[in-house]
Structure 1
């Protein structure tokens, strides 16, 4: 009998005002267990980076998908999150060579998929495969924000990762929005209207 492949899926970056929403998808390998998997938000950046490399090296398969700031503005953040999750599973499927048997999705809703899926609230604390997916998504998005920080240092992305902080609001007011800001998000939209 062939092994059953359970894929954990999670996202990072629904709340920020800038950049893509990123999703990870992971099928763990029972022959290569990874110690220390937990919700990415409860790990230090250094620990997340370490586990990222462990997951990429030891998982049966993994995938990353994203939806851009422009896509978020076109279809809204919820639909963009679902799109990023589908893309992550498709990326994983390419590496796995087949569709996983089931997807476990962090949260309270599932993207439309051709395979069975189950939404698990706080799944990143309950299911190791979802924890692994949350780490892939978080590290990938944080790395993207560091690149964006190099391009637009005035916004302080390296400090707040695009989240709505006082510093970020002040920079938005002073400099306006960059091309990666999500114009459908009210704090960005309000600044653009004031500066129009």
Structure 2
């Protein structure tokens, strides 16, 4: 009898461990909410026909190492994740924009659902002449981030904010936020359509 109980408990432990391992990768993680990201627009219903991202705005995770590695051109806003390809669709340049003031201070913020050890947060912006009616490529972005916030492996809070000075730009642009995880091969991506 004792042997049966032990076998059942071991079996339950293995099952529980399997469930934790299986659900660990499917948990949500984090997304940018200032400037408003495409995934947030989908999650709040401000933009329709978004597919699965409307229920998982925190899950835009792809390989890290951007811009030398990471998601392929044209698949950057979805982090290379085909489940969220609606984020890469430029919608004819009609994504709603966040109004920003060129050269002014701005507080960027992320909502973090699963707090990963973090290398850094980086913010890239599109070059002058960017065409918002086409999927985002590396060639569309300035080569260097305009803001980098090092974290040195620390886990961020549930809401993390970064103050930075916006570049001198005018018209419609896109800001790409990249949250690089320290202890995995991945990063989280957030595209925010903005107007200066």
TM bracket (short chain): under 0.3
The structure whose residues are more often strand, as a share, is 2
> How does the TM-score come out when normalised to structure 1?
0.23
Higher relative contact order (CA 8 A, sep 6+): 1
In our comparison, the structure showing a higher alpha carbon Rg is 2
The structure whose residues are more often helix, as a share, is 1
